[in-house]
């Protein structure tokens, strides 16, 4: 198989995995369903990914890297606080409106099904770590891990709360973004 065809097959398989995760959840994803959705044989899928866990892990890392790259291109030189607003709007839009984003959230929340134990300990996706590290000068003095948990907690609240039932640019989602930004800038308690 040539490189170009291999890249096309890989892309089809990654889309199929994310689609299956979004539809059925991580525990119910099967290699047969992924192969069918990707338009490849089950044998070809096993040739490339020896286990179900391997294809799930690849989809997880592929989306996390792609999201980081997308945010890097989107993020420019914004005035203080504006960069956070842009990233917040983008993250909530991608995670709420995009099937791939919803699947990524499910993969992250259910990572114990396919990632090795040493990789499961990560509390937040690489994408958030990247953004927080890049913008640490605008944040309060708390450690990066605390900031990461703050953003992740607010994102999970948006995804599971009433804001997820209404328009994606709803006032509640914006207010939660402002509250998250305030929490990130706050000095530590005495």
**pLDDT digit string (tens) for the chain, length 190 residues:** 556 567 788 899 999 998 999 888 889 999 999 999 999 999 999 999 999 999 998 988 888 777 766 666 655 555 555 667 777 777 777 777 677 777 887 787 788 878 777 776 665 677 777 777 777 777 888 888 788 888 888 887 777 665 445 545 577 788 888 888 888 888 877 7
Instruction: Give ∠ CA 109-144-162 in degrees, rounded to 5.
Output: 45
Helix or strand run (H / E) with residue 19: helix 3-24
Within-domain flag for 46: no
Predicted confidence at residue 17, as pLDDT, reads 93
Q: How far is it, in rounded angstroms, from Cα 59 to Cα 57?
A: 5
135 phi/psi in degrees, rounded to 5: -115, 25
Within-domain flag for 170: yes
Within-domain flag for 40: no
Helix or strand run (H / E) with residue 33: helix 31-38
Within-domain flag for 128: yes
Q: How far is it, in rounded angstroms, from Cα 56 to Cα 86?
A: 29
Within-domain flag for 138: yes
Token pair of 146 as six digits: 């605390």
Within-domain flag for 117: yes
Residue 36, Cβ neighbours under 10 Å: how many? 15
Within-domain flag for 99: yes
Into how many domains does the chain fold?
Answer: 1
Q: What's the per-residue H, E or C state across 107-161?
A: HHHCHHHCCCHHHHCCCCCHHHHHHHHHCHHHCCCCCHHHHHHHHHHHHHHHHHC
70 phi/psi in degrees, rounded to 5: -65, -45
Tell me the CATH number at 177.
1.10.357
Confidence (pTM): 0.71
Within-domain flag for 31: no
Predicted confidence at residue 124, as pLDDT, reads 67
Q: Please give the DSSP secondary-structure letter assigned to residue 187.
A: P
Could you tell me the residue range of the domain that residue 96 belongs to?
52-185
Token pair of 85 as six digits: 């607003």
Cα 12 to chain centroid, rounded: 19
């Amino acid at each position: 198989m040539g490189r170009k065809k291999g890249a096309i097959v890989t892309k089809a398989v990654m889309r199929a995995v994310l689609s299956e995760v979004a539809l059925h959840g991580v525990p119910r994803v099967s290699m047969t369903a992924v192969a069918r959705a990707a338009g490849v044989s089950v044998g070809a899928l096993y040739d490339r990914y020896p286990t179900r866990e391997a294809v799930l892990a690849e989809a997880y890392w592929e989306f996390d890297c792609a999201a980081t790259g997308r945010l890097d291109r989107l993020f420019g030189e914004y005035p203080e606080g504006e960069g956070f607003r842009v990233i917040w709007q983008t993250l909530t839009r991608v995670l709420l409106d995009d099937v791939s984003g919803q699947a990524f959230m499910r993969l992250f929340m259910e990572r114990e099904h396919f990632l090795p134990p040493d990789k499961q300990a990560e509390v937040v996706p690489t994408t958030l770590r990247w953004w927080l590290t890049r913008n640490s000068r605008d944040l309060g003095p708390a450690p990066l891990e605390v900031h990461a948990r703050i953003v992740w907690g607010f994102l999970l609240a948006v995804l599971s709360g009433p804001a997820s039932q209404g328009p994606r640019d709803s006032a509640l989602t914006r207010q939660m973004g402002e509250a998250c930004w305030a929490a990130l800038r706050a000095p530590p308690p005495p």
